Structure 1
Amino acid sequence: MKLGLQLGYWGAQPPVHHAEIVRAADESGFDAIFTAEAWGSDAFTPLAWWGRETTNVRLGTSIVQMSGRTPTSIAMHALTLDHLSGGRMVLGMGVSGPQVVEGWYGVPFAKPLARTREVVDIIRQVLRREGPVTNAGPHYPLPYGGEGSVGLGKPLKSITHPLRDDLPIWLGAEGPKNVAQTAEIADGWIPIFYTPKSAGMYQPWLDEGFARPGARRTRETFEIAATCHFQVVADAAEKQVVVDAMKPVVALYMGGMGAKEANFHNQVFVRMGYESLAAEVQELYLAGKKDQATALIPDDLVDDMHIIGTAGEVKERVAQWEETGVSTLMLSLHTPEEVRAVAELLG
């Protein structure tokens, strides 16, 4: 199983140590580095900046919010970075959620599956460069001829010849229909809260996508890049400290990421079998009772979602994740020493 370094998105200030940990990942055998975006820093610029001195790692977005750019703009970013990196770009995309899409980008969130299909198709047209890019779909019509159009839109073909016409596209997906569509049209999947215990839930959804006519990949050639917190501890007491420290993050995603009527992360926990817990945590969290919500998160759930234990225990856990089909573990590590230690332990 390959290792990915998840740099994430910036907080209130830019990170001060990413150059060193990226260099360590590149030198230690990591397969890729990944960047993310929310409503602050973007995902493409750090890849270009931190990745400029790397030679080995793939450069991935995990994830780019599709509503933040037009499909052809996303394709321009991807093909440019692919050239600059010598063919190491991985384009990870997702639909985000209605609070961000409509509140930050000011565009409609409706029909996320149909929009995703159009975005992927347009990007692939750009990369193939077989002719001018057109799209008859209702979400991203090319050329545009709707309200406000001056009627002069012209189908265009990329001036720059893409380095690869099969640049890998991975999609973030959570629900059954979205996961099935991802298996059909994408090269890889970036799940959230994928765990050994929940892995079986996803297999029929993936199989449905692989079985569709024209599916791009098979299970054997499809990549699954799962994110978890990875930490080696000395004993059970230290593990408990780490588990307790992770509970506020779980509570945030279960209860506070999105509106009550549209929290897709909450629905993942419901499908995992935590329906009553997810409802109670959400009610408390949205009422401002974050500490009470956090106190409800069970140890077993955190232990399933992450890889925390002694050196021998984490190696066993990594093997369990790999057995479920995970091809890449995305890890958030904070120092070059951590990066090198993980590479040595799992190499």
Structure 2
Amino acid sequence: MRLGINLGYWGTRGTDDLVTMLALAQAADTAGYDIAWLSEVYGSDAPTLVAHLSAHTSRLHWGTAVMQIPARTPAMTAMTAATLDRITGGRFCVGLGVSGPQVSEGWHGVRFDDPLGRTREYVDIVRRALARKSVDYDGDHFQLPLAGGQGKALRLLLRPEQKTVPIYLASIGPRNLELTGEIADGWLGIFVSPEHLHEQLEHLRAGRHANSHDVNSHDTDGPGDLDGFDVAASANLSIADDLDIAADRLRDNAALYVGGMGSRRSNFYNALAGRMGYADAAAAIQRLYLDGRPRDAAAAVPLGFIGQTALVGPRERIAPRLHAYADAGVTTLNITPYGDSLDDRIASVHALAELMQQEGLR
């Protein structure tokens, strides 16, 4: 199982956040982590941070988790990916996601309609462009060149370092998971529980079977049909001898996603928590959060939900959870380290790498 680190985005934890991100990236690089991921919402953008931070590390691969599909044309995403792949010496992968209706429509001015169809066309164009083919495309959402205009089909001028730049999709719902299995090289999962992962993997497998280009998709049954596909699960990491103290560090983040990432009508993370058996708690968290009571929402997050979807507590509790992720089918475990100080978070980065080695998982 590979090991990755989520660095988030700049500007959420104070004026020294970029210094913190760099320190964590360098700690992960030193500790032998495989990849670092950077995200974006409506603040800092992920590609700029990849360019900056990757220059201060030597072996880490880099990815975006995620670049928002409504924020860029597919051609711009291909240009950015090719540039970052050259900058990092072939150590870049593209993570994409449709975001949500509030950000898509409120920030980018792009209607949140047919997200599956839009994603399919978007990825198709990005792949064609990165393969340096002339991009001539007639889809429901994208037409290149525009009909009746003066444009012509163009080919990407910059050659990426890698022959194929991997494309990951962040997806939550069943249909989106199937699309991910069909068209992507990897899945970026959030709030992944080893106890429930088999349900998500079945949807990914269904997508793989639907992809006629996957030579293995009809020849195997079980975990083998995801060979070559990266199941990249995110897990918050909070190490402490006291389980309650460790879990409390993660409550605000869980409440933000389950309660506040979306509207009362549309919150993918809330629906995910419901499918995991926490429907009543998820409804309460959302009600409290959207009523302007984030602290009460955080207090309402069940310990069981945190325990299932994070690495939390003393090392002797975390060790078997690492095996649970690996046994469930996770191929890359991407952690977000929490602690009471930067030194604590850096120590956690190293501690997890050591624990993975001790448990024979790397």
Whether the TM-score (by the shorter chain) exceeds 0.5 is yes
Against the structure 1 CA distance between its residues 261 and 340, is the aligned structure 2 distance closer, same or farther, given a 3 Å change threshold?
Answer: same
- Please tell me the residue identity of whatever aligns with 2:248: D
- Please state if 1:244 is matched with 2:242: no
- Please state if 1:193 is matched with 2:195: no
The secondary structure found in structure 2 opposite 1:261 is coil
Task: Spell out, residue by residue over 1:159-203, the C-alpha distance to the aligned partner (whole angstroms, 9 max, x if none).
Answer: 122222311100000000000110011000001111112212213
- Please tell me the residue identity of whatever aligns with 1:20: A
- Please state if 1:220 is matched with 2:222: no
2:221 matched to which residue of 1?
none
For the residues of structure 2 that align with 1:264 and 1:24, how far apart are their CA atoms?
A: 32
Structure 2 matches for 1:130-279, cutoff 5 A? 131-145=133-147, 151-216=149-214, 218-234=225-241, 238-279=242-283
- Is contact 1:127-1:164 (8 Å) kept? no
2:300 matched to which residue of 1?
296
Task: Spell out, residue by residue over 1:201-256, the C-alpha distance to the aligned partner (whole angstroms, 9 max, x if none).
Answer: 2132122111114254741211011111113322xxx2111212322322221121
For the residues of structure 2 that align with 1:193 and 1:17, how far apart are their CA atoms?
A: 24
Aligned-pair CA distance for 1:143: 0.7
Of residues 246-255 and 317-326 in structure 1, the stretch that sits farther from structure 2 once superposed is 246-255
Aligned-pair CA distance for 1:306: 0.7
For the residues of structure 1 that align with 2:182 and 2:203, how far apart are their CA atoms?
A: 10
For the residues of structure 2 that align with 1:336 and 1:251, how far apart are their CA atoms?
A: 25
1:72 matched to which residue of 2?
75
Q: Which runs of 5+ in 2 are unaligned?
A: 218-224, 358-362
For the residues of structure 2 that align with 1:132 and 1:215, how far apart are their CA atoms?
A: 21
Aligned-pair CA distance for 1:11: 2.4
Aligned-pair CA distance for 1:291: 3.2
The secondary structure found in structure 2 opposite 1:15 is helix
- Please tell me the residue identity of whatever aligns with 2:292: G
For the residues of structure 1 that align with 2:175 and 2:213, how far apart are their CA atoms?
A: 15
For the residues of structure 2 that align with 1:182 and 1:330, how far apart are their CA atoms?
A: 18
The secondary structure found in structure 1 opposite 2:50 is helix
- Please tell me the residue identity of whatever aligns with 1:341: A
For the residues of structure 1 that align with 2:294 and 2:30, how far apart are their CA atoms?
A: 41
1:32 matched to which residue of 2?
35
For the residues of structure 2 that align with 1:296 and 1:76, how far apart are their CA atoms?
A: 44
- Please state if 1:317 is matched with 2:328: no
For the residues of structure 1 that align with 2:22 and 2:251, how far apart are their CA atoms?
A: 29
1:92 matched to which residue of 2?
95
- Is contact 2:182-2:210 (8 Å) kept? yes
For the residues of structure 1 that align with 2:83 and 2:293, how far apart are their CA atoms?
A: 46
Against the structure 1 CA distance between its residues 18 and 249, is the aligned structure 2 distance closer, same or farther, given a 3 Å change threshold?
Answer: closer
Q: Aligned residues: percent identity?
A: 38
